[in-house]
Structure formats: structure tokens, C-alpha cells
Amino acid sequence: MTHGSDEQLQPSGEAPSRRNKPKRRSRHARNGFVILMNFGFSLALLAAVAGGLVFYWGKQTFDSAGPLQTEATYLVSRGAGLESVAAGLERAGIVSDAQVFEYGVRVASLEGLSGRGDTGIRAGEYAFAPGASMRDVMETLRSGNSIQHAVTIPEGWTVHQIYARLAADPVLVGDLPPMVAEGTLLPETYTFTRGMTRSAMVDRMKEAQSELVEQIWAGRQDDLPVKDIGEFVTLASIVEKETGIAAERPHVASVFVNRLREGMRLQSDPTIIYGVWGGAGKPSDEPIRQSHIAGATPYNTYVIRGLPPGPIANPGRASLEAVAHPLDTRDLYFVADGTGGHAFARTLNEHNANVRRYRDIERAAAAARAEADSPENPAVAQ
């Protein structure tokens, strides 16, 4: 031991302490690739978190109530792509964000929800309720349950009248084709979607009438006095115009069938009207005059024998069935009975009596109308 010194000796053989020396980073830690990997991992993690947040926000937006305040409709045109549909829905205020809607539909398609391997959106006009979510909108467009419009064609209308109605329909589009033959369109109520053309509607009516006529003609009674399917439709059109009461049609048909068998003229007033005024019909203020009854038109069955050269209207199913299976009677005459129906007779004497009764009813009705319109009537005076 040496006195006078504060220095302490280290034990022999022991290395100097490294506690106060700085640590060196490993060569691996200083490797640029590892640094890049760490940075990339951090970016990927941030991207995953951000993506998850965006996906969550998008899903919430896709499933949340939409901006519609009142019911609205939207037309998906044939061949329209998802991008254009989404943009159109946003412009219409049906969805709040076209991109969210587009991506939502694509994700749903990838998940197999459409079951068709595509977006599943179908052409048509669709209605959307207030507050409909994007998912609701997507399911509606996929359903194919588009809005159905309707046009009704009454039985007994001429082609001219039918074309006028189709021309005035606000939903049908396009021009009408050239006028088709009388009797070739089926009177019916037709449903269709927006965008259907008038030409396509006429084709549909023609096809429906052709199928119906051929079906009823094939099951007709064997001994009908008509030569072919054309005469069959012509006779049905006359029956159609003579009565609007379905239960009377087989009886009216039996009268005309009996007259054809007897070689008698049909003497049907609607054939006079068609011969004079054609498919446009008789003006409401124009009476049938004696000159019309005696007029030699090809359709006037007061002048010609047998059937006119073609139909005078478009008959419906009931009139076609009535001619195919007329009531079994011996009646040769009928006249209005004053109640909306007709009185039938076998003989001319019976018929004349029915005519006198009808004229009495007409005179009484005219007198009642005149009295009601008289200035001396207290109701009129007031």
C-alpha cells in the first residue's frame, strides 16, 4: 500500500470497465434494406388503417339513408354502364355520391350477391322511396321490377282509333308504322315499360290478335257459314259493333249466322257507318240518313248480300267466341229494347212489334227530356 495517493488499482487481470463507452449499432441495424423495409411496413400499416377507415365510411354511407325527400323515378337505358348510371343517380338526387355507389355495387358483385357475374343492374324505369339507401337503390335496380305503364284498347275500336290513342300516349316513343289492316289488332290492356316504341306496341297487338284468332278459329263450330278465317273475323267485328253486352253476343251472332244461311242481307247499321265514314267513325252530330242506308258502298249490308270485304273494327275475344259458338236459335231479327239490350224475334211481325215498342219508349223519353228542358219547369226557371 502506498500512502499519499487517492488512486485505486484495479484488480490484476481484469479489463477496464466499458460502462461509460457509447454502444455501437449492429451492422444489420444500419443496413439500408432493413430501414426501407421498416418504412414500407409503416406505410403499409398506415395505408391499411386508412383503407379500413375509408371502407368503413363507404359502407356506412352505402347503407345509410339517402338524400331523397320525395319519391322519385329513374330510367336505366339499355346498354347503360354502371358509371353512367351512378352519375345519373347522383344528378337526380337519388344517391349522394356516385363513386361510393359505383364501388359499392362492384364490391357487392364481387361478393357474389348478384349471382350473375356482373353488376346485375337491369334496364327499365324504377321508383325509389324517400330516404332510400344506396343499397336499397342497388337492389331495386337489380330486381328488374321496373315501373309498368298501361294502355287500354276498348273492344270494337277501329285501327284509326287505336292509332290515335297510341299516338297520344305520353310514355310510348317513336313513330307509328303505316296503318295496318282492320281487325288485326287485339283490344286489350297492355302493360309496358318506359322506352317501348309505338311500332313495337303495334307488332305486339298484331301478334296477340293473330294467336287468339287462330286459336278460336281452330275450335269453332263445324257448320258456320263463313269460308275462311278472314270472314270469321269480319263477322265477329259486326257482332262487336252491334252490342256492348257480353251475354248478348252469342245471341246476336246467331241472328247473323241464321241470316247468312237463309241468304238474307245482314242489314247491320255499323256497316253503313263504316262504309260512309271509315275507321274515323260517324261524327256525333251526324245522323244516319236514308241516303246513307241506300248508299252503295262495299260495306253497306243493307245493299250487299253476305259479308262486307273486311272487318269494320277490331273484335275482342268475346265476339270471336260468340261467332265461333253462336247460340242455337231461329231468330232473324233484333232491335234495341230501350234498356241497353235488344229484343230478338223469329218473324218479321214479331220484329215489327218490338220496333213499335222501342219507338214508343223513344217518344216517351223525348217528351220527358223536352219537359225537363222547358222554361216552365220550376227546376229550369230557378
Q: Report the run of H or E that residue 295 belongs to, with start and end.
A: none
Residues 261 and 350 in one domain: yes
Query: Is 66:137 a contact under the CB 8 Å cutoff?
Result: yes
Rg (CA), the chain: 43
Q: 204 with 244, same domain?
A: no
The reported pLDDT for the residue numbered 374 is 66
Q: Domain boundary residue among 211, 239, 259? A: 211
Query: Is residue 9 assigned to a domain?
Result: no
- DSSP three-state, residue 16: coil
Residue 368 has pLDDT above 90, yes or no: no
CATH, residue 84: 3.30.1490.480
**Sequence-ordered list of residues with C-beta below 8 angstroms from that of 236, at least 6 positions apart, any chain:** 253, 311, 315, 319, 320, 322, 323
Q: Do residue 80 and residue 139 come from a single domain?
A: yes
Q: Say if 248 falls within a structural domain.
A: yes
> Are 374 and 365 a contacting pair, CB within 8 Å?
no
Flag whether 276 is in a domain.
Answer: yes
pLDDT at position 7: 46
Domain of 164, in residue numbers: 149-211
- Please list the residues that pair with 75 across neighbouring strands: 125
125 inside domain: yes
**C-alpha span between 380 and 371 (Å, rounded):** 10
Render 32-44 in DSSP notation, one character per residue. HHHHHHHHHHHHH
Please indicate, yes or no, whether residues 196 and 233 belong to a single structural domain of this protein. Answer: no
**Contacts with 38 (C-beta within 8 Å, 6 or more apart), sequence order:** none
The residue from 177, 194, 211 where one domain ends is 211
- How many other C-beta atoms lie within 10 A of the C-beta of residue 339? 9
- pLDDT exceeds 70 at position 260: yes
**CA gap 149, 160 in Å, rounded:** 22
Mark whether 124 and 176 lie in a shared domain.
Answer: no
Instruction: Of 6-15, 19-28, 339-348, give the lowest mean pLDDT range.
Output: 6-15
Domain membership of residue 1 (yes or no) is: no
Predicted local distance difference test score (pLDDT) of residue 31:
66
pLDDT at 28 over 60: no
- The sign one gets for the Cα dihedral 270, 272, 276, 278 is positive
Residue 308, in any domain of the structure:
yes
- State whether residue 76 is helix, strand or coil: strand
Q: Which residues are within 8 A (CB) of 263 and not within 5 positions of it... i.e. 6 or more apart? A: 305
- Same-domain pairing of 138 and 156: no
Please state, as a whole number, how many other Cβ atoms lie within 10 Å of the Cβ of residue 87: 16
d(CA 272, CA 313): 13
pLDDT of res. 323: 98
Domain-located, residue 5: no
Taking a C-beta distance cutoff of 8 angstroms, is the pair 317, 212 a contact? yes
Same domain, 331 and 189: no
Query: If you search the block for the grid coordinates 311500332, which residue do you land on?
Result: 199
Q: Are residues 108 and 173 in the same domain?
A: no
What's the one-letter identity of residue 180?
V
Cell 324517400 -> residue: 130
In this prediction, residue 371 has a pLDDT band, given cuts at 50, 70 and 90, of confident
User: Is residue 50 predicted with pLDDT exceeding 90?
Assistant: no
My answer on whether 171 and 250 are in the same domain is no
Q: Is 218 helix (H, G, I), strand (E, B) or coil?
A: helix
How far is residue 24 from each of residues 18, 29, 38, 289, 360, measured CA to CA in Å? 12, 10, 20, 124, 129
Last residue of a domain, one of 113, 143, 173: 143
**333-336 and 149-152: which strand pairing?**
unpaired
Q: Which residues lie closer than 8 Å to 168 by C-beta, 6 or more apart?
A: none
* Per-residue pLDDT at 119: 83
| Average confidence score pLDDT of the chain | 87
- Which ranges of 198-289 does DSSP label H, i.e. alpha helix? 198-218, 229-242, 249-262, 269-277
Can you give the pLDDT at residue 154? 97
The reported pTM is 0.76
Whether 245 and 342 map to the same domain: the answer is yes
Cβ 75 vs Cβ 124: under 8 Å: yes
Same domain, 188 and 268: no
Do 239 and 343 lie in a common domain?
Answer: yes
pLDDT tens column, 72-127 = 999 998 889 999 999 999 999 999 999 999 989 998 887 654 444 478 899 999 99
Instruction: Indicate the number of domains in the chain.
Output: 3
* Residue 211 predicted with pLDDT over 70: yes
Residue 16 belongs to some domain of the structure: no
Average pLDDT, stretch 254-262? 97
Q: Which long-range contacts (CB under 8 A, 24 or more apart) does 135-142 make?
A: 135/62, 135/63, 135/104, 135/108, 136/66, 137/66, 137/89, 137/94, 137/95, 137/101, 138/101, 138/104, 138/105, 138/108, 141/76, 141/85, 142/114
pLDDT value for 52: 59
Quick check: 256 pLDDT over 80?
Answer: yes
